[in-house]
Structures are given as C-alpha cells and as structure tokens.
Amino acid sequence: MELPYWLTSTQEAANTDFSRMLRRLPRLLREAWLLGWRASRRTTAAVLVLQLATGVASAVGLISVVGVFDGLLQAGPTPERVRAAVPSLSLLVLALAVRGLLRSAATAAHGRLSPMVYETAEMRLLDLTTRVDLATFDDPAWRDAMQRARDRGTMAAQQLVDQGIEVLTSVIGLTAAAGVLAVLHPALLPMLVLAVLPTGWAAVRAARLGYRSNLRLIAVWRRQRMLAHLMAEREPAGELRAFTVRRFLLVEVARLLRATTEEEIRVADRVVRTNVTGQALSGLATGLAYGMLCWLLWTGRMELAAAGGAAYAINIGIGKLSELTFAVNRVYEQGLYFADFQGFTELSQERAEPSLERRAPERFEEIRLDRVTFSYPEAERPAVADVSLTLRRGQIIALVGENGSGKSTLAAVLAGLYRPQQGTVTWDGTDVGVMHPESIRERVAVVMQEPTRWPLSARLNIAIGRHDRPVSLNQVQESARAGDAHEFVMELPRQYETLLSRHFTDGADLSGGQWQRLAVSRAFHRDAPLLICDEPTANLDARAEHDVYRRLRDLAAGRTVVLITHRMASVREADRIYVLDHGSVVEEGDHQELMAADGLYAQLFTLQASAYQSA
Ligand SMILES: Nc1ncnc2c1ncn2[C@@H]1O[C@H](COP(=O)(O)OP(=O)(O)OP(=O)(O)O)[C@@H](O)[C@H]1O
C-alpha cells in the first residue's frame, strides 16, 4: 500500500545487526541494571543474589542426578546399587527443595523490582521530555525517538533486567550440564551446541524482523492514534459532525490500519518460516547427539551408567541452552528497544537547556533584541528574520502583521521559549544566553494563543501561574477578578473547587472565552515584570475585551506588556507598534506615525475601520 512520504520517512535503525548488538549488550545490560539500582539497591541486590543461588542449586541438582545414575547402574546386587545412589539422591532432594525456596524468594523480589524499574524509567523519560527546549518539540526526528522510547523503551528497561537474570541462571545451569558432559565424553559437547544453534539463529532473526517492522510502522501508528484521538475525543466531536468528515477520517484510519496489518502479516509469515527452519535443524542436530551417544555405547567407548548420566545431561543441557538462547534473544530484542530508550535519553540530554548559574534580574528597565533570527527545524526560511526592537519598563508594545508573519514566534523568543540562532536578546545590557533559561521565564507571564485547558480545579487553573508560592483563595480571587473570570467561576457547581474537565465525574467545561479569561487571570496571577499576550481577546466578547485592555493598561504601570492582536483598535494606544511581514519588521512607531507613513499598518487599520463603519 502506498503511504505518503511523511509516514515512511522514519529512518531504519542503523543497529539491528546481531554482532554489533552483542557488542553493545554489556553496556545496555549495565544501564538497565543501573536503573534497577537507582530504583532500589536492596531489591536489585536481593534479586541478583537469589537468582544466582537458584542457578547454583539447579547445577547441584543436575550433578547429583548423574550421581544417582552412576550409583544405580553400577555392577553388583540391587540393594547395594540403591545404597550407593542414596547420598546423591539425598543431595538431589535437598537441592530441589532449596531451589524451590530460592526461586520463590527470587520471584517475590523480582515482582517488586520490575515495577520499580518501570517507574524509574518512566520518570526519567518524563523528566527529560519536559527539560528539552521548546524548539526540540518541533523536530520530527526527536518526536519519533520519543515515541519509540515511550512505546517500548520503558518496558524494555524492565524486561532487560528480567532477561538479564534469565541469562545468568541459564548460563550457570548450562555450565553444569556441559561440565558433566565434558567429563563423561568430550565429543558430546559440540553436539550440544550444534543442537541449539539453529533455534538461537531463528530466535534472533525473528526478533530483528519484528523490530525492523516496528520501526517502519512507528510513524503510521502515531498518525493512526492521532486520528483515533480526533474521532474519540469530545473537543473535535462537534466539528467532525458539522463538517461530516466521519467517513473521510474512517477511510484514512482504515488505510493506515490496512498498512499495519499487511506489514504485520508479512512479518508473521517470515517469522514462522524462520522458526520452522530453526526447529527442523535443531531436531536434526539433537538426533545426531543421541545417535553419537548410541554409537559410543555400541562401540564400548562408554559405560551404560555414564551413558545414562550423559543422556540426562544432554537433555538438561539442551533445555538450558534453549533457555539461554531464548533469554539472549529476548535480551537482544529488548536491547534494541532499550537502545531506543538510551538513544532518546542521550539525544534529550544534548537538547536539554543549559543549566547556568546566573539568574535573570527580578526587574528590568530595558529588553533589547538585536538582529534576532530564528528558524524552526527543517524550515526553508526563518520565521523571525533580523529583528531589532526595544521594550522599556512600563511600555505597551504591540506586534501586528498578517497570519504567519512571525508574531507568535517573536513573542516566544521574548518569553525565553526559543533561543535565536543569530542575534542577541539582552536584559539591561546582559545577554540572556548567559542566564538560566528558566530564570528568564520566571519573570514572564504569557497568555498563549491557545491556552492550555489544564484538567485541574478553577482555583488551580489560576494558581498554577505561581504554583511555587503558597497562595490564599483571596489572592486567587483577586487575579480572577482582574482577568474577568470571578463571576462565571462563582456560577460553577463548586465554584473555585470545580474540576475543569469533562473527562471526570462532576467535571465542568467552559466556553472558549471563559477559558481565555482564566488564562488572562493566570497571567495576572503570575505577577511578572513582562506580560506577553498573544491574542488574549480573540474569544472574548466586546465588553470583556474592553475590560481586559483597561486592566492591561493599569497593569502596565510598573510592567511591560507585549500585545499581539489582529484587532487594530486595541493597538492604537500602544506606546510602540512593530509591524511584521514574513518574519521581518517592516514598520515601527506609534499609531499616529504609522498612519502618517501610510504603509502596511495604515492599510490594515483602514481596512478594519472601514469594515466597522460600513457595518
Ligand atoms: N512549531 C512550528 N514549527 C514549524 N514552523 C512553524 C511553527 N510555528 C510557526 N511556524 C511557521 O513560522 C511562521 C511564523 O508563524 P507565527 O505563528 O509566528 O506567525 P503569527 O504571525 O503569529 O501568525 P498568526 O497571526 O496566524 O498567529 C509561519 O510561516 C509558520 O508556518
């Protein structure tokens, strides 16, 4: 099935090669165990010791079985043979009992460790995803990596720890079986290996096929989940029906699901074929091992007692080797996914914002942008190009321009959300590049174009603006009044304690304008020296808009306000207006100057004013 380019652009992982993976495994295992260690040292140590002890008890059991055979198949009267077998038999019973106990204890410890590893890995992932700079979120390669790490990587950390233990225990068991065989007849040893190699090969190949297929499908899954989300969520439900796009979306999802199904069927077929080949070859080699044992007996090269022990050791050895190949294969498979997790954590660490000592000043007199250029990843041209502007304390600065002219991007640079690739942003003469980015953002309050609808209570939706400070309900109410939200919040079923999410019982939802008023209240509550409002009134009715601007002007007394709006009437009173076009400032001045200049601003203003007059 043909898929669009953006669904197939995910790069194949460079490292599915088995030998390469084997070389990386020790490091991956170590990293996975480190996660366990970080989660709980005691439990990790307990799991390790108990599993090792279980392996040793199994080995003792195996050796004592050979002793039992040896005793029973000796020449001589039966009672004597039984007597000769008794010590080994007792040891066997003891070993089995101890092994049973150890295994239970190991399972219990393991049961505790596994979720702890998962928890640690998940927390690490979330810590990193919230630590990277905002621009990283616009990089599709990083998002793919994040998706892979989220989908399977965290689980893989847990599984890798589990399978690492399996590898250890089967190695101990195998060493015991191989040791016994080597003592009984060295020629039997290679037979043992031969019997398991094909299954091992098949298992590794199957794992690689699965991983590669996952890699190919990752973008398709992401897209499909996105569409499924659109079809199952409340917010788009109205538009989906209004535009009757149901069928269109269903066809699109069906197309993606078909691509996934076809790929999975294709892989399943190849995996089955691989496994059948592996098992057939292993069966053949096992037959050869037993054939060789018969030949050794037949030609008198081996005693019957030894042959009995050897047959048992071969049986156990093949079992252990199969366990080992299975465990190594699982380690390999999970290693591939865990490598995604590791890769993602490394990538995110590289993209993490610098942790600088110097903090932004509490207040500023002047913020200056000097020839600032910012481009989004993979964009052909900059969203903000060579922009210089100055904001002074107490000023209201307006950014105007047509859609896509770069206003929001410029605001994000001012808010410290994006770092420009060229040019400088200075606060009272100090380059913000040398200050801790979070300390800049602490001094900024932003009303986003699409404010986040936090699934929290109305009170927290406002208080989250300064969640680090304890606040009284009175203070929250004051901010709500400033943002014109108090009245409607008081009409909610539980007033300030009403949960604002329809996804939970008794949760309430708000209108677009009410959400926007909450966002404005949140920004007021933040009480920062720089307030950036990206179309704060787009959803507000005329009275609310008038009130918000009046308050903004009051607020600007000791602060600086950057205002982005398409409502030209609201811009008139700004101290300075910058007009953007294709990312560049094409005009600047106050309203009178810009009207006199008769450029883009005058055009936009006259257009809107005449629309109102003729209405
Ligand atoms: N996250 C992003 N990743 C890539 N390109 C982006 C991103 N956001 C915006 N752009 C591009 O950057 C340019 C400027 O966008 P921006 O949102 O800053 O414009 P704007 O003036 O705020 O527009 P509007 O008036 O529609 O809000 C546009 O060409 C847009 O396509």
Using the atom order of ligand 1, give the atom closest to the CA of residue 412.
Answer: 18
Give the separation between CA 247 and CA 238, rounded to whole angstroms: 15
Using the atom order of ligand 1, give the atom closest to the CA of residue 378.
Answer: 4
Shortest-distance Cα residue to atom 14 of ligand 1: 406
3-class state of residue 559 by DSSP: coil
Q: Is residue 45 a contact partner of residue 245, using CB atoms and an 8 Å limit?
A: no
Using the atom order of ligand 1, give the atom closest to the CA of residue 402.
Answer: 25
Q: Label residue 293 exposed, middle or buried (CB < 10 Å: 0-12, 13-18, 19+).
A: buried
Find the mean pLDDT for residues 58-83. Answer: 80
pLDDT at 343: 87
| C-alpha pair distances (Å), 367 with each of 220, 432, 435 | 44, 10, 14
Confidence of residue 580 (pLDDT cuts 50, 70, 90): very high
Give the separation between CA 418 and CA 532, rounded to whole angstroms: 14
Distance of CA 421 from the midpoint of ligand 1 (Å): 16
Distance of CA 579 from the midpoint of ligand 1 (Å): 15
pLDDT at 423 over 90: yes
Q: Is residue 299 a contact partner of residue 216, using CB atoms and an 8 Å limit?
A: no
Which residues line the pocket of ligand 1, CB cutoff 6 A? 138, 376, 379, 383, 401, 403-409, 449
Using the atom order of ligand 1, give the atom closest to the CA of residue 401.
Answer: 21
- As a whole-number percent, the residues of the chain with pLDDT over 70 amount to 94
Which residues are CB-contacts of 199 (< 8 A; sequence separation ≥ 6)?
Answer: 278, 279, 282, 322, 325
Give first-to-last CA distance, the chain, whole Å: 53
pLDDT at 556: 62
Task: Indicate the average pLDDT of the chain.
Answer: 84
Find the mean pLDDT for residues 120-132. Answer: 90
Phi, psi angles (nearest 5°) of residue 266: -60, -45
Using the atom order of ligand 1, give the atom closest to the CA of residue 580.
Answer: 21
Say which amino acid occupies 271.
Answer: V
CATH topology for the 454-527 domain:
Rossmann fold (3.40.50)
Q: Is residue 383 a contact partner of residue 406, using CB atoms and an 8 Å limit?
A: yes
Confidence of residue 172 (pLDDT cuts 50, 70, 90): confident
What is residue 356's DSSP assignment?
A: -
Mutate to test the pocket of ligand 1, among 376, 381, 448, 585 (most ligand atoms within 8 A of CB): 376
Q: Model confidence over 212-222: pLDDT tens digits? A: 887 788 778 87
pLDDT at 159 over 90: no
Shortest-distance Cα residue to atom 25 of ligand 1: 403
pLDDT at 605: 86
Residue 354 Cα to chain centre, angstroms: 21
pLDDT at 611 over 80: no
Q: Where are the CATH 3.40.50.300 domain residues in the chain?
A: 355-443+531-615, 454-527
Q: Tally Cβ neighbours within 10 Å of residue 530.
A: 24
Phi, psi angles (nearest 5°) of residue 319: -60, -45
Mutate to test the pocket of ligand 1, among 138, 373, 405 (most ligand atoms within 8 A of CB): 405
Six-digit token pair at 235? Answer: 């917010």
Q: Model confidence over 541-579: pLDDT tens digits? A: 667 777 777 776 776 667 899 989 888 877 888 899 999
Of 349-353, 389-393, 502-506, minimum mean pLDDT range: 502-506
Give the separation between CA 569 and CA 432, rounded to whole angstroms: 33
Q: Model confidence over 285-322: pLDDT tens digits? A: 888 888 888 888 889 888 777 787 788 888 888 888 77
Q: Model confidence over 7-37: pLDDT tens digits? A: 544 444 445 566 776 777 788 778 878 888 8
Mutate to test the pocket of ligand 1, among 407, 533, 585, 600 (most ligand atoms within 8 A of CB): 407
Give the separation between CA 562 and CA 395, rounded to whole angstroms: 8
Using the atom order of ligand 1, give the atom closest to the CA of residue 411.
Answer: 18
Q: Which one is predicted more confidently, 16 or 585? A: 585
pLDDT at 614: 56
Distance of CA 415 from the midpoint of ligand 1 (Å): 16
* CATH number listed for the domain at residues 20-42+110-351: 1.20.1560.10
Q: Model confidence over 448-457: pLDDT tens digits? A: 878 888 888 9
pLDDT at 226: 84
- Is the pTM higher than 0.90? The answer reads no
pLDDT at 362 over 80: yes
Give the separation between CA 445 and CA 439, rounded to whole angstroms: 12
| C-alpha pair distances (Å), 419 with each of 141, 436, 582 | 19, 12, 19
Using the atom order of ligand 1, give the atom closest to the CA of residue 384.
Answer: 14
- In 3-state terms the chain splits into helix, strand, coil percentages (rounded to 5) of 65, 10, 25
pLDDT at 9: 42
Which residues are CB-contacts of 299 (< 8 A; sequence separation ≥ 6)?
Answer: none
Mutate to test the pocket of ligand 1, among 380, 407, 409, 447 (most ligand atoms within 8 A of CB): 409
Phi, psi angles (nearest 5°) of residue 359: -110, 155
Confidence of residue 369 (pLDDT cuts 50, 70, 90): very high
Say which amino acid occupies 89.
Answer: L
Residue 600 Cα to chain centre, angstroms: 45
Distance of CA 342 from the midpoint of ligand 1 (Å): 32
HSE, CB side, 13 Å, CA atoms: give it for residue 390.
6
- Total residues belonging to the chain: 615
Q: Label residue 105 exposed, middle or buried (CB < 10 Å: 0-12, 13-18, 19+).
A: middle
Confidence of residue 368 (pLDDT cuts 50, 70, 90): very high
Helix (H), strand (E) at residue 387? strand 384-392
Q: Model confidence over 239-279: pLDDT tens digits? A: 888 888 888 899 999 999 999 999 999 999 999 999 899 88
Distance of CA 492 from the midpoint of ligand 1 (Å): 35
Full 3-state SS string of 480-526: HHHCCCHHHHHCCCCHHHCECCCCCCCCCCCCHHHHHHHHHHHHHHH
- CATH class of the domain defined by 355-443+531-615: alpha beta
pLDDT at 2: 52
Using the atom order of ligand 1, give the atom closest to the CA of residue 409.
Answer: 18
Give the separation between CA 141 and CA 329, rounded to whole angstroms: 28
ipTM at complex level: 0.96
DSSP track, 429-474: TEEGGGS-HHHHHTTEEEE-SS----SSBHHHHHHGGGTTS---HH
Find the mean pLDDT for residues 177-195. Answer: 81
Distance of CA 404 from the midpoint of ligand 1 (Å): 5
pLDDT at 3 over 70: no
